Structure formats: structure tokens, C-alpha cells
Structure 1
Amino acid sequence: MGTFKIEGGIRLKGDITPQGAKNEALQILCAVLLTAEKVTINNIPDIIDVNKLITLLGNLGVKIQKNGQSSITFQSDDVNVGYLETEAFKKEGGSLRGSIMIVGPLLARFGKGYIPKPGGDKIGRRRLDTHFEGFINLGAKFRYNKEDHFYGVEATDGLTGSDMLLDEASVTGTANIVMAAVLAKGRTTVYNAACEPYLQQLCKMLNSMGAKISGVGSNLLIIEGVEKLEGCTHKILPDMIEIGSWIGLAAMTKSEITIKNVSWENLGVIPNVFRKLGITLERKGDDIFIPAHENGYEVKTDIDGSILTISDAPWPGFTPDLLSIVLVVATQAKGDVLIHQKMFESRLFFVDKLIDMGAKIILCDPHRAVVIGHDFKSQLKATIMSSPDIRAGISLLIAALSAKGTSTIQNIEQIDRGYERIDERLRAIGANIVRV
């Protein structure tokens, strides 16, 4: 198990470039299974979760050619569907939540798709009903082996378009259904579809391959099925979660940092949420410049003077993946903030570690926490802690970089699942962080 040792309280300075988006990469990589032709993906993040999925594709028989850093060409012209029924696949597929999105493409192209119950972050229940209800609507037969926790869908006569209203705007569920529907016979409408930029990117990529998807960017997608898809070249967006992480890092450490090439048009409300915390963000071309906050940052209350509440919501609302960052940043703000995590019931449980560091946080229930900001009058204290999941891990790392003394973070594989060479990149802007 890896460990970070961090000397906190050091001002950072310089430029940092966000990696390719993890959440987009997991969708895009699964989509290469939809065609026998070559698909080249650029700006792929070199992180554990993405590399696990690439290995899984290779084990399925997908040809993988590395073109250089962050660029890979895939060709799925000799897929071994039988691998899905092996013990090796049950173990491999169960270690990565993103593996669920291979089911839609496999079902569409080969008439069957299997997956063990996926793993991932321990942040609460993450249901799969939306995925499989969508496949059933397209004509697939569903089965579940309770002993092995193994899911399966089959459509020996192919899939047929259908009108469906999703029970939740699931991003991975929408992606899976769209990838199945592009090769189905006839027309499919998906209402209450997720419309995150990553889902938009998937739809744009599929359209470039010959799919016919309209309504991209809205919650109503219309898909006219086609017989086959062609190859394409696609570039993954910069990771908005990493961008938000760097904004929080700059504010907490009073550092002057420029985040390069952020794709402003795809950030949605993220910059404004950080501005509500009092953080100054300047747009310079496609970069974000954060000046050193010498005098701290003051929380903006609601119009009527009520305590600021920051909550997550489906896009274009605020992404739940950044609530952990916002919570940490609020610990040193001037003012109070209510954090309301609606989607996952275990995501706020890492706050006990921040309380150990001296943060003033009241955990109201599994979904809500009140943060009373220190206004930098009391610095967080260094401590020994363990990373419970990707987003809590990066939040604790930011806290450690701002704290007085040397902190130790264990189980850093959780951070490596979502952040590429984070220790090297932080050292490049002046951080004192060592991987043990």
C-alpha cells in the first residue's frame, strides 16, 4: 500500500495542465467495441481506472497500439466474447465500476453482454437498474446470478428501438443505453437522459462514426439505429474534476496558479460555485488564473442573508465529484457553508479526518455537513490519515498541503485511480510531497 508524505504550509506557484477527463475516457474506451474499424483516442489519462479498462479491452481481444503519450489506437475486429464467461473476467470486471459500460456495446454488436457486480469507490449504493431496464426496453433478456453477483443481457435476434423514460438521469446508464441503441433497429428516444459534457462527447464521437443521434446536450436524445459504425479519431476533454481540485488547492495554500487549457465552455457552473466561496478566478484565453489570496476568501451569503448552501445536482447542476473539494476549501473560508451531498450516502464520512486536523465541521447526517470557516486564523494540523475514495483522497491531500507540519496519507492507490502522476505534477509547482 503506497503512502504520501506531505510537508504542508508551502506556497505553490506555476502552471498546471489538467489531464484528460477520467469519466469521459471510461465511456469513450467502451465505445471502441462498437466497430471493427480503427478508433484513435487522444488525451487519454494515465490513471489506474483507465489503464484497468484498457487491459480489460485487450483481454477481450481488442488490438491496442500506443501512438505516443496519451494517444492509443484500438481495433475491435476480433473480439473474444467467450472471455466474458471466464473466472478471470469475473475477477477483472468486478474491480472497476466503469466496466459496466462494455455491456451496451457488446449487446448491440454481438447480442450479449455480461458483467460481474462492479467495484469502485465505497461512497454508498450505486444502483444499476437504469442500465438494465434500458436494455430490456430495447428487447434484451435479463438474468442475474445472485451467488456470483453476475449480470447478463442477451438479444439473439438483435435490439429494437424503443421510447423510454429513465428513472434517474444516470450518466453511465445513459451512455450504456445510447451505445446499445445506435445499432438497434428503428428509433429510440431516451427522456430524462444525462447531458453532462462527457455524455455529449460520447454522442459526438458516435455521430462521427456514423450514428444518428440528435438532441445532444439536452435531456431528450433521439437515436435512429444504423447497421454499422466506422472508425474515427477523438480527443478527450480536460478533466473538470481535476480543474476544480486545482482551484481549491490554490485557494487553500494561498498560491498563484494558472490552470492551462481548461475548455471553459464545458465547465458549466463550476467557476461560479468557487466564486461563491469568495475565490477569485480570472479567465485568460482558455486558461484559469488564480491569484494568491493573501487576505483569504469570504463566503457570499444568499440574497436574503441565509447561509450559503452548495449541493450537487445532475448537469447543468454542480457535479457531486467536487463537493468534497468544496467542503475542504470551506474550512478556511471567512463564513459558513452548508454542504448537501444528495446522491451518495457515504461520501461525507471522511470529514472526521478533517476534524482531527482542527477543522470546524458539524456532520448533520450522512448527506449534510455544516462547515464553519477558520478564515486562516487557525491553520489545519498535520496528521496521519487514509484515503477512502478518489475524491475524498484528493481533498485530504489538499488539506495536508495547507496544514502545518508533515502529514501522511495512506492507501494513495485510491488517489492514483483518478489523478495522473499527481505527486510529480505538484512537485513541479513547488509542493513538498514524496511517494513512499
Structure 2
Amino acid sequence: MVTIQTLKFAHCLLFFSYLSMSACSNDNPEDVIELQAVSSVQAMDKSNQANAADIYVNFETNDSDLVAEYRVYVSPAGSTDDRSTDDWFDLSASYYTSSTVAGFFLSASQTDANGDEIEEYIDYQIVVLSVTSEETGYARRLSEPSENFILTQQPEVTTFVASLGANDALAMDDSGNLYASNFGNWSSTGGSGNQILKIAQDGSVSSYAIQLNGPLDLMYHSSGSLYVVDDNNGTRGHILKIEPEGDNDQIASINGWPGGLAEDDNGNVYVSNYSSATLHRITPDRMVELVSSDARLRGCVGIVYADDFLYLANYNDGKILRSDLSGNVTELTQLEVVPNFGLGYMDKLGDYLYTTGIGSNVIYKISITTGASEIFAGTGAKSTLDGVADYAAFSNPNGIVTDETNNTMYILDYGKPSIRKIELKQ
């Protein structure tokens, strides 16, 4: 039999139960944690795996002391608004990568927000969900989406020879063997180095020429000989011809500080000059001719021949100059470099020039036709870090030689002497 006293007792139990539940519920505005969303979300393509592991994500954290995890989702561009914060939170772990800090690569197995594999050449955006611990009822806040990004196959930098006894210029013969000059350290008026090394395509290193005096640029000549700038003493430098058998022959002596070498279609050799505002030509019969005397030529080292023009890279001021074979000089472009520690050597691949930023620790790419320039590889940090071109790092890159057949280039680091290989993707 239900009495009035029983009903009153039951009513009291319900009332106290309600009070207890209200005290623990996040429906009470005083108990809800207000999170700030992360900001400045960035997605960067830093690998060539063709999946989510290519994606490096960074962002600015807010209320990090309250956050238990950051969940990073990849969504086809323009579709991030199709889900509520709760919808994102309810997606299973295969849809996101979790981290407690900013700055990390995504998991290779992560899918996009639709459950599809993440692929190259598709527009994506990133969103980041900040999530608190379970004790707080999983308070959460979704970021604004990142800028659109696309995964691509990028040029990739690897270390071909990790440690090398040479630090200046590179050349390549018809068989793909590399040659590296060792200028060494500054000693009196020249370099302390005395040899040229030969590096086979399997990476094995051997001595090719010795008893030199601070050798600088190298050039593999169409005759099958190796040309080298040697024995600069501040007032003149020698141009040597080294035969495959090892015979060493001086073919010219040029006043100033001759730096770089280039060959035209007729076997003539052109010589840039660091300390003299001149450009010289050495004919096949060893006649030395002055091609040009122009104040802008002072400081030039790297030199390339292409289609009846010469292109010169200025070590001091970062200018790329163009000269016809009669010596008329014009400026192609101006690169942003470290003054007086600007550009090293230069080579050509396709319709572009590539030159080393020895002080800025990057490789520059310049259109031969328009002069438009960009940083092709390197973050600017002085280091030896392999990876895709805009993630890799160089240590005072100096020598450079390109391999048109294999769409590849090699870089000789001066700061930490090693040979880096850059494979350009088709």
C-alpha cells in the first residue's frame, strides 16, 4: 500500500539525485571549459611517399595546458564545413593523427575525411581539433582550415658521398664520373689544397691529380681532357689541361684571380675572373683573348655557355650576367645573397641555370629566357639534411654539375665537404 509518507520519501530521493547529477554535469555553464582553437595551421609537403606521411603539420597552440591531444584531419578542399565539431570528434582513429604538441608528420595510414586514401595532385585542407581530457567531458574546439595544398613528387636531395677531401668545384665526364677540386683553406694568397679527386657512380673515391696549388674550377672538355684553374697567387692564375693518362700541361696564365671555366661549341674555353673585371677566351691553339672588360664582371666565378651566350654568377653581389661572344654584357637578374659571400659555381639544365648560394645555403634556379628566379632547394639553414628540395639543408654549397641525361645534379658542400645529389622528378 502506497502511503503519502512513501510518496514524499520518493520525491526527496529524486530531488537529491537531480542535485547530484547537476553538480557533475557539463550542462552547468560554470563547469564547461572554454577552449581556444589552434591558429595559423600549415600543411607542408616534405616527402615523396605519396600518402599522408608526406604531410608535415604545424600550428600555433592556445590553451595547451588544457589540451589532452590535437587531432589532425585531412579533408578535400572546400568540404571542411560539411561536418560539425562533434562529427569530426566521432570519426575513428584511421581518419586522424593525434599528437600532444605542434609540428609533426601524419601517419602513413591516415585517410582523408571521406575515408579515401590520401593521394598526390588533389587539393586538400587541414583542420585541427583540440580535445581536453575525459574528466572534463571532452570539451573540444575546431580550428579554421589551412590553406589549400597539393602533394607532388618533388626534387629529392640525398647525400652521395658523406665525407670528402675536396671542397670547391665539380665536373663530370661522359661516363658519369665526377671530379672534385680541393681548394682547401686560405693560405697566404691561395689555397692549401693540392689535389683533384675522382668519384665513380658507385660513390667510390680515388685520387686523380696531385701536386696542385689550391685548384678551383674544373671543366671536362670535349677533347676528353680535364681543365682546371690552379695556382692563383693574387696577381695571376694558371689554366691547366690534365690528360686522362695524368699528364699535366699549363695552357695559359691569366692576370687577376681566374675563377670559372666554360666551353663553347667550337672548343674555346672562357674564363671568368674574381679580382679583375675581365672575361677571357682561350682558343684551341692556346691563344688568350680578352673578350670583355666590364666593371660588373669583377667578382664573377661561376660561368656557363648556352646557345652563343655566356652566363656569369657574381660571388660578391649576387648578379647573374649575360654576355654575347663579342663581350657585350647585360644583367639577367639579381639574386638576394649574403654580400661578398654570395654565389659559387653555376651550371645549366634544360632552360634553367642553377647556381649555389654559398652564404645563403640554398640552390637558386633562374630562367635563361626571362631571368625569373626562385630558391630551388634548401631551407637556408647551414646543415646537412636530406629530403625533398624545400626541406633539405646544405652547408655552404659551392660546386655544382648537372647531368642532363639522368635529370640529376650534384652539389659539393664547402662547409662540411660532401657531395649531395638532387634528382629532379619528371
Q: TM-score category by the smaller chain?
A: under 0.3
Higher relative contact order, structure no. (Cα contacts within 8 Å, ≥ 6 residues apart): 1
User: Over alpha carbons, which structure has the higher Rg?
Assistant: 2
Of Structure 1 and Structure 2, the greater strand share is in: 2
Q: Which has the higher helix share?
A: 1
What TM-score, normalized to structure 1?
0.24
TM-score by length of 2: 0.25
